[in-house]
Structure formats: C-alpha cells, structure tokens
C-alpha cells in the first residue's frame, strides 16, 4: 500500500516555521509582512479561497487585507486600486484572485502588479526568472508539490517525471521545477497520443487536468509517486482529484489524497512568498 503524502501535516510544519520567521522579522525590524488579496465579483469558490488565505495570514501573524470589488468593476478601477497597493508600504504581496470577470483582461492586470509584490509569481518577469532558473518567487501550487516531495525525501534526480497538464499556473512551471532538480521530464496534454503509455513510464507522476478520477490504475507504474493536483466537485458535492485514488493507492509507492494533499500546500507557499517579499523589501 502506498505511503499517503499528507499535505496537512507538511503544511502545518512549514507554517510553524513561517510563523517563527514572521515573529523574528517583526522583532528585528518592526516590519509585519502584509498581503493584499483582491476579489472581484461574487464567485462563491473564490470567496472561500480568499477567506482561507486571509485566515492563514492571521495564523502566522501576517497583516492581510481583502479588497472586495463588485462584478461590474471596470478594468480601469481595478488597475487604479492595484496601483495603490503597489505603492502601499504595509503591503508586500499582492494576489488577484482568478478568474476575473470576462470584461477584465487577466493579462493586463497581472502585468500591472509590481513584480516585487507578485507572490503568485504570475508576472512575466517572474515567469521569465523561473525559466532561467534564478527566481524570487515560485508559483504556489507547483512549489507546494516540490515541498511535499522534499519533505518525504522522494528523489527527483534522474527520475522519469511525467506532468499531465500544461497550464501556465500548474503544469508548465511544475515541469520546469522538476527539470531544475534534474528530473527527466515529459509534459502531456489533451493532444498527447497514447497518454497511458507515457504515464506508465513515470517514476513521479503529477496530474493537473481538472478531470475527476481520470488517471486509473492501469495508467500508473507500480511503485510510482503519484501527485494529484486536481480538485473536482462531484454531483454529490464531494471533492475528488484527477486520480482514481481508491484504485491507484494499492499500486502506487506514494500518493496524495484529495482533499488533504496538494491543496493545503498552495496557501502555505503563498505565505512563504509573502514573507520573502517583506524580507526583500528591506534590502
Ligand atoms: P487548466 O484547465 O488551465 O489546464 C488543464 C490542462 O489539462 C491543460 O493543459 C489540458 O490540455 C490538460 N488536459 C485536459 N484534459 C486532458 C486530457 N483528457 N488528457 C490530457 N490532458 C488534459 O487547469 P489548471 O492547470 O488550472 O488546473 C488543473 C487542476 O488542478 C484543476 O482541477 C484545478 O482545480 C486544480 N488546481 C488545484 C490547485 C491546488 O491548490 N491544489 C491550484 C490550481 C489548480 P490542453 O492544454 O491541451 O488543453
């Protein structure tokens, strides 16, 4: 039976360390790391994510502000508010909760965040730095996956790593981070031919596609490490991942559950990035 990779446990451990570092920073410099989260519109899932981020900041002793704007906010109004945050010395990290309403260009908004405050690492200058291998911030979800692999001492060097999904938020940066640690990386997507042949080669399989229970046992090499980034809500309201957990757990070497695997790590890395942004602002 596979080792169950416990994202709640790793998260609690890392958040404790972040809390200590926040306290030390406050004592030494008087600076409290501050995160601003912007929420435009009334998407209920986004509202839950934003609330969780706000609460997580509180728990580690960071300052946080939630800026809620109505769904009919104009792009200009959002950019003006963003410019205020860019210039606000209490705020070291800015996160704009996606998706934005259709009439607002996500690209334009992300480009308007001061890269030094871009704790999601979505700004092109941060994306470019990750590509070059010297970065300030890492994107929260793929970096969270790396934290899990490190915590469980899972070797990456020389391993066949298969990432299913190539979004800018998860799949692409995930592949770069695994490559950065000397994994041999294959990226798969919706046009990949014979996906199962590729996934069966993986020593480390990371799946981020948004399709409930898509990866079945016959697509996984026995003993593989399976990281499920997917979060899907089933008609009965339950959450499930992109991997058929029940079927894959008996053959995998290690596996993340959903919920309780990658999910908690995303906010943890966000806190880590906000702390780093505050530390860097002093230099
Ligand atoms: P996107 O919809 O942006 O990207 C999905 C990717 O999966 C695309 O690259 C797509 O390929 C690929 N894909 C879709 N269907 C298939 C298929 N049948 N076979 C192979 N590849 C396929 O999703 P995200 O990357 O934003 O998110 C992926 C999942 O991760 C979602 O469930 C999301 O909820 C979850 N997520 C979880 C987070 C967490 O904190 N744990 C954070 C972010 C996301 P193509 O490019 O060819 O269309």
How many structural domains are present in the chain?
Answer: 2
Domain co-membership, 83 together with 162: no
Tens of each residue's pLDDT in the chain, 283 residues: 899 999 999 999 999 999 999 999 999 999 999 999 999 999 998 999 999 999 999 999 999 999 999 999 999 999 999 999 999 999 999 999 999 999 999 999 999 999 999 999 999 999 999 999 889 999 999 999 999 999 999 999 999 999 999 999 999 999 999 999 999 999 999 999 999 999 999 999 999 999 999 999 999 999 999 999 999 999 999 999 999 999 999 999 999 999 999 999 999 999 999 999 999 999 8
Tell whether 162 and 248 lie within a shared domain. yes
Residues 151 and 112 in one domain: no
The residues that bridge with 65 in the sheet, in sequence order, are 36
pLDDT of residue 107: 97
Q: Is residue 4 part of a domain?
A: no
Beta bridge partners of 64: 35
Pairing of strands 93-96, 160-164: unpaired
Q: pTM (2 decimals)?
A: 0.97
Sheet (strand 160-164) strand order: 3-4, 254-255, 225-228, 204-207, 160-164, 184-188
Is residue 223 domain-resident?
yes
- Give the active site residues: 53, 97, 120
Q: 39 lies in which domain range? A: 30-116
Regarding the beta carbon of 263 and ligand 1, being less than 6 Å apart is answered yes
Position 138 scores a pLDDT of: 97
What pLDDT shows up at residue 161? Answer: 99
> Is the residue at 14 inside a domain?
no
CA-nearest residue for atom 15, ligand 1, is 190
Q: What b-and-e string marks burial along 195-222, b requiring 16 or more CB atoms within 10 Å of the CB? A: beebbbebbbbbbbbeebbbbeeebbbe
The pLDDT of residue 283: 85
125 located within any domain: no
Could you tell me if residue 65 is inside a domain? yes
Place of tokens 């399976």: 226
* Mutation test residue for ligand 1: of 50, 106, 170, the one with most atoms within 8 Å of CB: 170
What's the pLDDT score for residue 1?
82
Q: Is 164 in the pocket of ligand 1 (CB under 6 A)?
A: yes
Residues 6+ apart with CB under 8 A from 221: 200, 201, 202, 203
Residue 185's CATH number: 3.40.50.720
- Give the CATH number, domain containing residue 77: 3.40.50.10860
CB of 2 within 6 A of ligand 1: the answer is no
Task: Indicate whether 255 and 146 sit together in one domain.
Answer: yes
């Amino acid at each position: 039976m596979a080792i169950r990779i416990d994202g709640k446990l790793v998260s609690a451990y890392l958040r404790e360390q972040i809390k200590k570092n926040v306290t030390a920073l406050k004592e030494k410099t008087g600076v409290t790391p501050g995160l601003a989260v912007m929420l435009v519109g009334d998407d209920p899932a986004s509202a839950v994510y934003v609330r969780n981020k706000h609460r997580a900041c509180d728990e580690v002793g960071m300052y946080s502000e939630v800026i809620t704007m109505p769904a009919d906010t104009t792009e200009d109004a959002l950019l003006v508010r963003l410019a205020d945050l860019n210039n606000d010395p209490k705020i070291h990290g800015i996160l704009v909760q996606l998706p934005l309403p259709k009439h607002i260009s996500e690209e334009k908004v992300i480009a308007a965040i001061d890269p030094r405050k871009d704790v999601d690492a979505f700004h092109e200058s941060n994306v470019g730095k990750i590509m070059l291998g010297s970065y300030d911030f890492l994107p929260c979800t793929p970096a969270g996956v790396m934290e899990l692999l490190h915590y469980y001492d899972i070797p990456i060097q020389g391993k066949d790593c298969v990432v299913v999904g190539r979004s800018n938020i998860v799949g692409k940066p995930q592949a770069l981070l695994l490559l950065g640690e000397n994994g041999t990386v294959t990226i798969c997507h919706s046009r990949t031919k014979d996906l199962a042949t590729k996934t069966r080669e993986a020593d480390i399989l990371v799946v981020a596609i948004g399709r409930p229970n898509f990866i079945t046992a016959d697509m996984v090499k026995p003993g593989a490490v399976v990281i499920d980034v997917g979060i899907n809500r089933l008609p009965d309201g339950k959450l499930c991942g992109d991997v058929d957990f029940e079927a894959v757990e008996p053959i995998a070497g290690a596996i993340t559950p959903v919920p309780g695997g990658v999910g908690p790590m995303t906010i943890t890395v966000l806190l880590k990035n906000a702390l780093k942004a505050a530390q860097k602002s002093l230099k």
